[in-house]
Amino acid sequence: MDFFEISSKTVASLTRNERILFDYVVKNMNLIKNQSIREVSAECFVSTTTFLRFVRKLGFTGYSEFTTVLKFTLLGNTELKPSPFVVEQADYREEYLKNIIESVRVLEPSKIKQITKKLANKPRIYIFAKGLSKHAAKYIKYLYTMSGFLVEFPEDYQYRQAVLPHISSDDLVFILTYGGHDIELIQTAQKLKNRSLTPMLISITGADNNIIQNMSDINLYIFTDEIEMNNLDITSRISTIAIMELILYQFMEDETHSN
């Protein structure tokens, strides 16, 4: 019995909210296998009825069978040669494309409209990112700078702390953090939100419930498969770049139509 073999038949038909639950399960199998349905439902911020309906839609008769299969799946994985990929490369290429497509598909037009409306005022843009996301941020800074925006991307801790007092309510702040649980970035968001006049705060995070997501004015989330090599995160940030490109391209289109 394998979780991915059973669920693969229905993954394509999952709704947006069900896909978020699915991603949570994939990332937290080792934890969920020993939890009750009440505990898992609480962590996913859904009712037990909703989670049970989700489990049955995946192809399981009930929660007990669901956790049993998770245990067998994890046991089988430990017996295989360690690999950074959840699936074989031929299959991963398909999942890679699906993740990008899904990340773009779930973008809410109303949120993009809010952001492009703010961009129309030519705000100073601040980008906060750490780890692997910093490399995506460098490209994003280049892209927006070449499009005429003033962009600040503080790359080290001292620089990030130094720019905070200079951020005004007219500015636009992007926080790029896949996990959404980085303590420094959480503190950064708190400092900005505690002001009487706050800038628009937009986060791009993974598709799960996280702290940064809940602190943001607008959260855009990405789907991707987590990959580690030698204990280092090499999870793709392509979906983050795609979202930031689409925001800019939508702004450019709006500007063209308004002139």
Q: How confident is the model at residue 16 (pLDDT cuts 50, 70, 90)?
A: confident
Average confidence (pLDDT) over 68-78: 79
Which is higher by pLDDT, 72 or 80? 72
Range from 92-96, 191-195, 198-202, 247-251 carrying the lowest mean pLDDT? 92-96
Q: Where are the beta strands (DSSP E) in the chain?
A: 125-129, 151-152, 172-176, 200-206, 218-222, 228-229, 232-233
Cβ atoms of 92 and 227 closer than 8 Å: no
Catalogue the long-range contacts made by 253-256 (C-beta closer than 8 Å, 24 or more residues apart): 254/116, 254/120, 255/120
Taking only the tens place, the pLDDT of each residue in 104-131 is 888 889 999 999 999 999 999 999 999 9
Q: Do the Cβ atoms of 210 and 186 come closer than 8 Å?
A: no
Q: pLDDT-based confidence at 89, cuts 50/70/90?
A: low
pLDDT one-digit tens code per residue, 152-174 = 999 999 999 999 999 999 999 99
Beta strands in 82-217 (DSSP E): 125-129, 151-152, 172-176, 200-206
Q: In the predicted model, what is the mean pLDDT of residues 245-249? A: 97
Burial 195-225 (b: 16+ CB within 10 A, else e): eeebbbbbbbbbbbebbbbebbbbbbbbbbb
- Those residues whose C-beta lies under 8 Å from the C-beta of residue 179, and which sit 6 or more positions away, are 205, 206, 210
Which segment, 30-34, 72-76, 123-127, is predicted with the most confidence on average? 123-127
Q: Which residue has the higher pLDDT, 126 or 61?
A: 126
* Average pLDDT taken over every residue of the chain: 87
pLDDT at 12: 73
pTM above 0.85, yes or no: no
Query: Could you tell me the pLDDT band of residue 60, with boundaries at 50, 70 and 90?
Result: very high
Asked if residue 196 has pLDDT above 50, the reply is yes
Q: Is residue 235 predicted with pLDDT exceeding 80?
A: yes
